[in-house]
Amino acid sequence: MLGRHAGSGSDGLEGQWLSLEDLAALDLFKSGKRAFKVKLNGNFAPTAGQPEPGIKAAVRREFQKGDVICNAGEYGSTAFLILEGTATATLPTGAEARPIAGRTAGSLERLATLFRRRNRRARRVPVGLAELGEASPYATLSAMRPPAPRQLGPGDLFGVDACINFYPREATVRAEERCVVLEMLRSVLDTIRDAGDAGPGIDAAYRDAALRDQMALTPWLQELREDERGHLAAGAELLTPDADEVRDGVIYREGDTAEAVYLVRAGTIKLAQQRSSGELVFAYLGRGTAFGFEPVLDTRPPAPLQLVCVAPAGALPTVSLEGVVTVGRKADCQLRFPSDYRPVGRQHCRFALRDGDLFLTDLDSMNGTLLNGERVREVIVTAGDRVTIVDYTFEIVRPDVDATTSADTPRVRVATATGLDNFELVKLNGRELRRLAAGNDAYRGALLEIARSVGAAVPVSADPRVVSELIGLNLYNSQNTLLIDLDRCTRCDECVRACADAHGGVTRFTRDGPRFGKYLVTLACRSCTDPKCMIGCPVGSIRRDGSLEIRIEDWCIGCQRCANQCPFGNINMVELAAPVSTEPGGAAPLRATVCDLCAGYDGPSCVYACPHDAAIRVNPAAFLSAEDLR
Amino acid sequence: MLINADHRSWLVGTVVVGALLTAGYVASVRATPYGASGGSWPGLGFGVLGTACMALAGLLSARKAVRTWRIGSAQQWMRMHIWLGLLAVPCIWFHSGFAFGGALTTALMVLFYVVIASGVLGLALQQFVPALMTRRVPLETVLGQMDQVIDGLALDAYEAVASIVGSIPEAAAEQQRLEAEIAASQSGSWKAVARQRPVDPPLPRSDDIKAVYLSAVRPYLAGAGRGTPPDLRPLLLASPEEWRPKLDRLQGICEEVRQLTVQRRLHAWLHTWLFVHAPLSLALFVLVAVHIVVALRY
């Protein structure tokens, strides 16, 4: 008999509590290391002087046939071990997989609970039925053609990904028959990974599953046959910031030899080039994207642009626009008009390459230089532009090079890729990808399409100031931030009071912080995609449970680790009014508090109580624009 | 800015209803030989409508007492407060027939106008002052914490100066607080802030800094930013390069305190009118109740 205590509450996970003896009987919890026992004893054993249980960090749960054990798209912070029975894991298709961005209730339910004090523990909203708040760029991955459901049996561990990375769960797991599982908090899983005998096995299984699932969920790999994907997976690696080849978060640098293509499983990756004017950020890539396509594209230095005379066609020779090219009647001009053709100046205009850009400058000519029909003084020109000089029209062209069929020469990186947080990447062999593309037209097409979309390097925002501000304020990985429009806010503090009212008199945020233009970025939890606060809680009391908000459970021991790890100071330690310790003279016990997006209420109270429409909760990267900086 | 495009439907509704009421009033004036009065059926109707508008508008304060209740967002209640409050004006005009009447009704009308005028003033202030504060006070802080923030800045200033000129006996209070904070940081308290000890002995040629601190900076900070902030540029130019960061910080502290003074003033503009508007609104409701009783009884 494993379980002794049924029930739920504030002492841990819902389910039957497992004692240390119960856990020790499981293969997963075998270890010869003393540290393993010390950690388990220290954190999860019954509290001294109190009847068991202590913190329910690992519980036994039972599911009947057809029951959903966990849903794709839900945020979760627990992993599961199947003890008895079988289950199937299904990757979602299309719209089934969406993150729940906040708690919402139907209008009837809203009416019914109008004046009722809400439960702190909110109901779970089924995935797919939930109304969505902000669409997250970090949405759960989904596959148009998902692979066959995976069978899970006794001894199989699942949910490790969400438990470690805090991203929404990738698969829906459903019991195939009566199924008994052990659900555990990250703190338990970390203890096993660090010191348990099963640790290396868990990590290896995690790596294999991560590679397999990520490749299955990557649309442009679907054109490959199963055996081709398997072959590709065999040579793939899982890359994290701890890897030797990653230095200070830099995955590769501009100019490096390009040998791999990367799939982003977790984290935020910045792609940027160094220009004389500073760093030019091309893109911030999140979960589900891919980058580093240089191995499959031709990244040899591009052929220089050419100036081709199109009207009258071929009347003047084609000129390569390298260095400085002067156009005119003078003898030393690189593109020379007939010397007796007086409407064109002796030195009429000039093309010059500066910092990678091609400038066209009119040299005070009498009849002017037209770019696409408009008279110009100095402009940057590019392929496709038409330049008119009196009666002559030229087109700027770049000789085309077929990407994947070009010679098998070493490719170079055109940008630097840097991980901005705790990323996890699948590193694919670029040479292998290129070989597969050579013999599969459909795959080659899909590959080129995705590669060119990244290669086109369209910046996330049209205005680099916005990008730089978002980075400066660390808002790029924020999913839900409380902003206050200071042009509307009368500083009445109704938002703060509403927050305090909703949380037993203690506010969970401070109406202060940095500014993005007219918006105040408040000191409130930002629902990071990479919540550092959730790493290393010794008792697993800080977690996500089904949706976006971060919760600190009642069994918090006040160690302050989460508060110290939050880079934005958005977790506050509060002194408990009623001491739980009976030791005389002891300091007041602390408890960590964080904005929980008013879980249990219909939306955040701060926003609801603002009479001036000033408080908003948004995804800042999607919401803020250059307009706000004016 | 309080009034924006979101208010369009309320604005249109108020104008339409106001126009209908005006038409009704004109029609009732034409239909009766002596014009509409408060005692006539149309006049009574206008009075009831005006009172209802005022009562609904007044519910905003009740709504604010139950912030977590989901009974419509505070924005919706605020819009209702503004536009129904304004709609009450023609209703009461038509009810009274533009007359002040006896002593009670005159007092009522005067109170009504003061309440409306203070509300419109508040609306105008809340329309423009927030943006002004955003522009003029980039280093804004929470008003309730302003005194603590200024105290903290005063200590920061002393810490910066003492790290050049050493302990300053004339600023014994600051020295005492600095020592207390250093002791707290060594105790490992989670609330502690790391502080730098005063330099000992004082750095050479630092007398000017001490003098400026005691004569200008300290009094300015002690007065919570009243008066003109001290200009430390001459001191900056005359000081060695390595002192610059600390002197810059000192200048920054003075600027921050100046901004906080501006914030305090603008905050007063934003909220002081409420001390007229809210209690007089309450008094208005009392007088309206008396007026109803008197009118019905006599």
CB B257 within 8 A of CB B153: yes
Chain A residue numbers touching B67 (CB-CB < 8 A): 494, 497-498, 501-502, 605, 608-609
CA distances from A297 to A53, A405, A571 (A): 59, 9, 46
Instruction: State whether A25 and A91 are in the same domain.
Output: yes
Q: Which of A486, A510, A598, A610 is the best substitution to test chain B (most B C-beta atoms within 10 A)?
A: A486
Please check whether residue B67 touches A, CB under 8 A. yes
Q: How many domains does chain B contain in total?
A: 2
Nearest by CB: A501 against B2, B68, B142: B68
Q: For chain B, say whether A486 makes contact (Cβ under 8 Å).
A: yes
If asked whether residues B12 and B101 sit together in one domain, one would say: yes
Q: Is the peptide bond before A567 cis (omega within 30 degrees of 0)?
A: no
Task: Give the gap in angstroms from C-alpha B122 to the nearest C-alpha of chain A.
Answer: 11
Name the residue among B67, B77, B141 with its Cβ closest to that of A498: B67
Same domain (yes/no): B121, B21: yes
Give the position of tokens 């996970």: A13
Nearest C-alpha of chain B: how many angstroms from A191? 27
Most confident of A53-67, B120-134, B174-188: B120-134
A residues 512-541 near B, CB within 8 Å? 512, 515, 518
Q: Is residue A568 part of a domain?
A: yes
CA distance B51 to chain A (A): 23
Owning domain of residue A52: 16-101+136-217
Same structural domain for residues A555 and A455? no
Q: Is A605 on the interface with B (CB under 8 A)?
A: yes
Q: Are residues B53 and B162 in the same domain?
A: no
What long-range pairs does B136-139 form, CB within 8 A, spacing at least 24?
B136/B259, B136/B262, B136/B266, B137/B259, B137/B260, B137/B262, B137/B263, B137/B266, B138/A515, B138/B259, B139/B255, B139/B256, B139/B259, B139/B260
pLDDT at residue B273 is higher than 90: yes
Give me the residue from A498, A573, A611 closest to B190, CB to CB.
Answer: A573
Q: Which two tokens stand for residue A552?
A: 């600190």
Report residues of chain A scoring pLDDT below 50.
1-9, 48-49, 51, 53, 95-143, 299, 401-405, 407, 455-462, 581-582
Please compute the mean of the pLDDT values over residues B78-82 and round it to a whole number: 94
d(CA A137, CA B168): 56
Of A114, A490, A494, which is closest to B64 when you measure between CB atoms?
Answer: A494
Judge whether A279 lies within some domain: yes
**Amino acid residing at B269:** W
Instruction: Flag whether residue A590 sits within 8 Å of chain B, measured between CB atoms.
Output: yes
Same structural domain, B199 and B165: yes
Tell me, yes or no, whether B131 and B222 share the same domain.
no
In B, which residues are within 8 Å of A510 by CB distance? Answer: 142
Q: Which of A413, A442, A460 is the last residue of a domain?
A: A460
Collapsing DSSP to helix, strand or coil, A404 comes out as coil
Contacts 24+ apart (CB under 8 A), A558-565: A558/A589, A558/A590, A558/A591, A558/A592, A560/A590, A560/A592, A560/B190, A561/A536, A561/A537, A562/A533, A562/A534, A562/A537, A562/A592, A562/A594, A563/A533, A563/A592, A563/B190, A565/A532, A565/A533, A565/A535, A565/A536
* Contact status, residue A219 vs residue A446, Cβ threshold 8 Å: yes
Which residues of chain B lie closer than 8 angstroms to A518, CB-CB?
131, 134
Interface check for A104 against chain B (CB to CB < 8 A): the answer is no
| pLDDT average, residue stretch B142-169 | 91
CATH of the domain at A353: 2.60.200.20
Q: In Å, how far is A612's CA from the nearest CA of chain B?
A: 6
Q: Which residue of B has its CA nearest to A598?
A: B68
Interface predicted TM-score (ipTM): 0.87
Chain A nearest CA to B98, separation (Å): 33
| Chain A to chain B Cβ contacts (< 8 Å) | 87
How far apart (Å, rounded) are the C-alpha atoms in residues B210 and B167?
Answer: 10
User: In terms of C-beta density within 10 A (0-12 exposed, 13-18 middle, 19 or more buried), how is residue B107 classed?
Assistant: middle
Residues 110-169 of B with CB under 8 A from A: 126, 129-131, 133-134, 138, 140-144
Q: B184 and B292 share a domain?
A: no
Q: Which has the closest alpha carbon to A288: A147, A138, A95, A172?
A: A138
Rounded Cα–Cα distance for residues A365 and A378 (Å)? 12
Residues 260-289 of B with CB under 8 A from A: 267, 270-271
Are B73 and B148 part of one and the same domain? no
pLDDT tens for B95-112 read 988 888 889 999 999 999
CA distance to partner chain A, nearest, from residue B177 (Å): 22
- Cα–Cα distance, A392 to A332 (Å, whole number): 20
Whether B134 sits inside 8 A of A573 (CB atoms) is no
Instruction: Kindly state whether A599 is in contact with chain B, defined as any CB-CB distance less than 8 angstroms.
Output: no
User: Looking at the structure, do residues B32 and B178 belong to the same domain, yes or no?
Assistant: no
Query: Mapped to the 3 state alphabet, what secondary structure does A430-452 carry?
Result: HHHHHHHHHCCHHHHHHHHHHHH
The verdict on A581 touching B (C-beta cutoff 8 Å) is no
Question: Any idea what the CATH number is for the domain that residue A480 is in?
Answer: 3.30.70.20
- Does B192 contact chain A (CB < 8 Å)? no
Q: Name which of B70, B134, B143 is nearest A486 (Cβ-Cβ).
A: B134
- Burial class of residue B11, CB neighbours in 10 A (0-12, 13-18, 19+): middle
Domain range for B187? 143-269
pLDDT at A54: 60
pLDDT value for B189 = 60
A485 and A373 co-located in one domain: no
Categorize the per-residue pLDDT at B122 as very low, low, confident or very high, splitting at 50, 70 and 90. very high
How many beta carbons lie within 10 A of that of residue A217, not counting itself?
A: 23
- CB of A611 within 8 Å of a chain B CB? The answer is yes
User: A293 and A449 in contact (C-beta within 8 Å)?
Assistant: no
pTM of the model: 0.68
Same domain, A410 and A522: no
Exposed / middle / buried, residue B253 (Cβ in 10 Å: 0-12, 13-18, 19+): buried
Boundary (domain end) residue, out of A429, A460, A491: A460
* Residue B124: alpha-carbon gap to chain centroid: 13
Do residue A485 and residue A578 come from a single domain?
Answer: yes
Residue A382: CB atoms within 10 A of its CB come to 11
Contact at 8 Å (CB) between A300 and A409? yes
Contact B6 A613 (CB under 8 A): yes
Do A393 and A432 have their domain in common? no
Angle at which helices A186-195 and A199-216 cross, to 10°: 120
Q: How many CA atoms lie within 13 A of A564 on its CB side?
A: 8
Cβ-based contacts of A488 with chain B (< 8 Å): 1-2, 4, 130
> Could you give the C-alpha distances from A604 to A125, A549, A595, B53, B78, in angstroms and in order?
17, 11, 9, 30, 18
Residue A124 resides in a domain: no
Smallest Cβ–Cβ distance between B130 and the set A490, A497, A498 belongs to A490
CB contact under 8 Å between B134 and A497, yes or no, is: no
> Is B141 within 8 Å of A501 when comparing Cβ atoms?
no
Rounded to a whole number of angstroms, the distance from the CA of A574 to the nearest CA of chain B is 11
* CA pair distance B263, A58, nearest whole angstrom: 52
**Is the CB of residue B70 less than 8 Å away from at least one CB of chain A?**
yes
CB proximity A262 to B under 8 Å = no
Contacts of A590 in chain B (CB under 8 A): 190
State residue A301's pLDDT score: 53
Question: In this structure, are B49 and B192 located in the same domain?
Answer: no
Whole-angstrom CA distances from A428 to A121, A489, A565 are 42, 50, 33
| B8 reaches A (C-beta below 8 A) | no
For every residue of A252-296, DSSP letters joined together read: E-TTSEE-EEEEEEES-EEEEEEETTEEEEEEEE-TT-EE--GGG
Q: Which of A508, A505, A511, A504 is nearest to A527 (CA)?
A: A508
Q: Does B80 lie in the same domain as B170?
A: no
Q: Please provide the DSSP assignment of A136-172 as one string.
A: PTTPPP-BSSPPPPEEE-TT-EE-HHHHHH-PPPSSE
Chosen from A120, A483, A492 to mutate, greatest number of chain B CBs within 10 A: A492
Q: Based on the domain organization, do A242 and A325 belong to the same domain?
A: no
State how far Cα A418 lies from the chain centre. 13
Tell which phi-psi region holds residue A350, choosing left (phi > 0), alpha (psi between -120 and 50) or beta.
beta
B74/A610 touch (CB, cutoff 8 Å), yes or no: yes
Residue (of A405, A477, A475, A473) closest to A136 by Cα position: A477
A87: amino acid identity, one letter? A
Whether residue A74 sits in one domain with residue A30? yes
Give one DSSP letter per residue of A520-543, joined into a string.
EE-BS---BSS-GGGTT-TT--EE
The dihedral sign for the CA sequence A377, A381, A386, A387: positive
**What is the dihedral sign for C-alpha A92, A93, A99, A105?**
negative
Helix (H, G, I), strand (E, B) or coil at A321: coil
Does residue A9 belong to any structural domain of this protein? no
Contact indicator for A608, A498 with CB cutoff of 8 Å: yes
CB–CB contact B69 A611 (8 Å): no
Q: Are residues A519 and A475 in the same domain?
A: yes
**B188 interfacial to chain A (CB closer than 8 Å):** no
- Residue of A473, A516, A467, A469 lying closest to A280 (CA atoms): A467
Q: Are residues A425 and A349 in the same domain?
A: no
C-alpha to C-alpha distance for A489 and A492, rounded to whole angstroms? 8
A108 domain-assigned: no
**Which of B64, B71, B74 lies nearest to residue A114, judging by beta carbons?**
B71
Q: What size, in residues, is chain A?
A: 630
Decide: A476 and A281 in contact? Cβ < 8 Å. Answer: no
Domain endpoint, select from A217, A235, A264: A217
Helix, strand, or coil (residue B43): helix
CB distance from A490 to chain B under 8 Å?
Answer: yes
For residue A161, give the CATH number of its domain. 2.60.120.10
Q: Does the CB of A52 have a partner CB in chain B at under 8 Å?
A: no
B-contacting residues in A 210-229 (Cβ below 8 Å): none
**Closest alpha carbon within chain B to A603:** B70
Is-contact B122 B85, C-beta < 8 A? no
- Which residue of A115, A486, A590 is in closest CB contact with B130? A486
**CA B35, CA B154: separation in Å to the nearest integer?**
69
Q: Is residue A127 part of a domain?
A: no
Taking the CA atoms of A407, A410, A414 and A420 in sequence, report the sign of the dihedral they define: positive
- Predicted local distance difference test score (pLDDT) of residue A487: 92
* A130 DSSP 8-state letter: S
State which H helix or E strand residue B113 sits in. Answer: helix B103-136
Q: Is residue A176 part of a domain?
A: yes
Residues in chain B within 8 Å Cβ distance of A515: 138
For A35, list phi and psi in degrees, rounded to 5: -60, -30
B108 and B77 within one domain:
yes
Total domains, chain A: 4
> Is there a single domain that holds both residue B201 and residue B241?
yes
More confident position, A218 or B34? A218
Using CB atoms, pick whichever of A512, A518, A605 lies closest to residue B67: A605
User: Does residue A445 fall inside a structural domain?
Assistant: yes
% helix, strand, coil for chain B, step of 5: 75, 0, 25
The reply to whether A544 and A557 lie within a common domain is yes
Instruction: Write the DSSP string, A448-466.
Output: HHHHHHHHTT--SSS-HHH
Q: Do A237 and A258 belong to one domain?
A: yes
Do A551 and A544 touch, CB atoms closer than 8 A? yes
CB neighbour class for A474 (10 Å; exposed up to 12, middle 13-18, buried from 19): middle
pLDDT tens-place string over residues B229-265: 888 888 888 888 888 899 999 999 999 999 999 999 9
Q: Which of B68, B71, B190 sits opposite A605 (nearest CB)?
A: B68
% of chain B residues with pLDDT over 90: 61
Do A269 and A444 contact (CB within 8 A), yes or no? no
